């Protein structure tokens, strides 16, 4: 699907409201806007991560994830209760299954985790940890929205699995770069 964007600014949001898919107007502080805005922030952070990664299967998964997050944003930006002819955007269960496969493959290829790990390491791994924490916040925002307007469980499953994937990806990136993970030790 191609779309021609002729103008970036519309001035229609200057008073603190914005349009959802279908034209419904809501406050910019609405939980629906918070949810898809945080998913958009996650996608931007994934773009930063991808810019530091070497070409290959891991980078391909990150870019695929960005595309999936556009679908999630489109889904979250559509209030089916308020819009009769809203397009149908949803996450395919296969995308969550792919993340689970990736998690299992990564876990099988790196040393087992024996302690809590401090986020950080190489640039790529540290950025994957940032993405993981933004993903967790997006998940909280999505569940807050779900309390007001029940959502497709495939969306929540995908976002939950994505944060798990980003955690193991960070561990893999450190492992491949030869960076030792710092473990958490209780302060005395």
* CATH number of the domain encompassing residue 56: 1.20.1200.10
Specify if 5 maps to a domain. no
Helices 123-148, 31-52: axis angle to 10 degrees equals 160
d(CA 23, CA 78): 9
**Per-residue pLDDT tens over the stretch 86-127:** 556 788 999 999 999 999 999 999 998 888 998 999 999 999
Specify if 160 maps to a domain. yes
What's the confidence (pLDDT) of residue 13?
Answer: 54
Alpha helices in the chain (DSSP H): 31-52, 57-76, 93-109, 123-148, 153-176
Specify if 129 maps to a domain. yes
Q: Which residue has the higher pLDDT, 82 or 79?
A: 79
Expressed as residue numbers, the domain containing 100 is: 25-81+88-176
pTM to 2 decimal places: 0.88
Number of domains into which the chain is organized: 1
Q: How far is CA 112 from CA 53, 106, 147, 165, 176, in A?
A: 23, 10, 36, 15, 14
The per-residue pLDDT of the chain, averaged, comes to: 87
Specify if 6 maps to a domain. no
At 39, give phi and psi (nearest 5°). -65, -40
Q: Which residue has the higher pLDDT, 21 or 131?
A: 131
Specify if 108 maps to a domain. yes
At 100, give phi and psi (nearest 5°). -60, -40
d(CA 84, CA 96): 28
Specify if 126 maps to a domain. yes
Residue 8 CB-density burial (10 A; 0-12 exposed, 13-18 middle, 19+ buried): exposed
d(CA 154, CA 167): 20
């Amino acid at each position: 699907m191609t779309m021609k964007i002729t103008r970036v600014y519309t001035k229609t949001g200057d008073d603190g409201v914005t349009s959802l898919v279908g034209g419904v107007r809501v406050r910019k502080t609405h939980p629906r806007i918070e949810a898809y805005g945080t998913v958009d922030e996650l996608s931007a952070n994934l773009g930063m991560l991808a810019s530091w990664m070497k070409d290959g299967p891991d980078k391909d998964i990150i870019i695929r994830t960005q595309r999936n997050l556009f679908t999630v944003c489109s889904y979250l930006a559509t209030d089916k209760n308020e819009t009769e002819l809203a397009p149908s955007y949803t996450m395919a269960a296969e995308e969550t299954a792919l993340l689970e496969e990736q998690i299992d493959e990564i876990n099988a290829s790196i040393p087992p985790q024996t302690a809590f790990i401090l986020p950080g390491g190489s640039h790529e791994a540290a950025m994957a940890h940032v993405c993981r924490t933004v993903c967790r916040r997006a998940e909280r925002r999505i569940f807050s929205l779900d309390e007001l307007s029940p959502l497709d469980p495939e969306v929540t499953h995908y976002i939950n699995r994505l944060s798990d994937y980003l955690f193991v990806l960070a561990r893999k990136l450190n492992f491949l770069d030869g960076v030792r993970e710092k473990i958490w030790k209780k302060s005395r």
